[in-house]
Amino acid sequence: MATILLIEDDALVRRGLQLALRRHGHAVRTADTGEDGLRELRAAEPDLVVLDVMLPGIDGFEVCRRVRSVTQVPVIMLTARGDDFDVVEGLEAGADDYVVKPARPTVLDARIRAVLRRSTDPTEGVRVHRDLRIDTAALTVSRRGEPVPLTPTELRLLLTLSRTPGRVFSRQQLLEEVWEHRYLGDSRLVDNCVQRLRVKVEADPAAPEYVQTVRGFGYRFGPV
């Protein structure tokens, strides 16, 4: 059973999703404002946060940024529109995934389970690539001996790419392997996650050594 923190200001939506997620086997804590959500985050230490974009007071984007400043807990954003602005801003704030409202409980549950699987996926050992060390058992990353804090999705992307250095992955392949999206995938998830990952693991994100773009095809992990 996962503990989910649901931050949603609409009482009917909040209650409906709470009941539905409980039926799917999750323990659900709720908050109706960003401020209350951040307090609940500290008190409950949830396994995942489901966060509405449109909140009174501080909005969901700012809440996500503040969550990311203190923890790498997975975050799924709820957005009323699937337009570029909401989606890209949410991903840049550090969200791991997004679901367009009205959120069907079965879809939201599937996304929750996929994100949680990505955050706990066991792998085979330690990979060392120049000054980057990836411990795939402990699920930690360090660069030049310094720990690199990655979100579960950033870590999963790095694990997927570094598993076979030099192999080119298309965006669709990464959506299927990292996000487990097949028909509802969105390449913006990949591009934004790559940008965030480069900031954390590359000496110069503008000239990446590890997470490299192959124009017209996708991404690869730089050969050792």
More confident residue, 136 or 134: 134
The dihedral built from the CA positions of residue 86, 88, 92 and 98, taken in this order, carries a sign that is positive
Q: What residues does 151 pair with on adjacent strands?
A: none
The average pLDDT across 197-204 equals 94
Residue range 3-118, CATH number: 3.40.50.2300
Residue span(s) of the chain under CATH 3.40.50.2300 come to 3-118
Q: Residues 166, 141, 136, 213: what is their CA dihedral angle, to the nearest 10 degrees?
A: -20
Read off the pLDDT of residues 169-191 as tens digits, 9 standing for 90 and up.
999 889 888 887 654 567 888 99
At which residue do the structure tokens 């050992």 appear?
125
**pTM for this prediction:** 0.68
Q: Which are the contacts of 205, defined by CB distance < 8 A and separation ≥ 6?
A: 195, 198, 199
Domain with CATH 1.10.10.10 in the chain: 126-221
| Dihedral angle sign, alpha carbons of residues 152, 158, 161, 165 | negative
Fold exhibited by the domain 126-221: Arc Repressor Mutant, subunit A (1.10.10)
pLDDT of residue 178: 86
What pLDDT, in 10s, does the model give residues 115-130? 887 766 555 567 888 8
**Contact call for residues 7 and 49 (beta carbons, < 8 A):** yes
Between the alpha carbon of residue 44 and those of residues 10, 36, 37, 48, 73, the distances in Å are: 21, 12, 10, 11, 12
- The pLDDT confidence band at residue 79, using thresholds 50, 70 and 90, is confident
Share the mean pLDDT of the chain: 87
What are the pLDDT digits (tens) for 4-43? Answer: 999 999 999 999 999 999 999 999 999 999 999 999 999 9
> Minimal CA–CA distance to 95: which of 9, 7, 164?
7
Rounded Cα distance between 96 and 177, Å, is: 14
Q: Supply φ then ψ for residue 37, to 5 degrees.
A: -65, -40
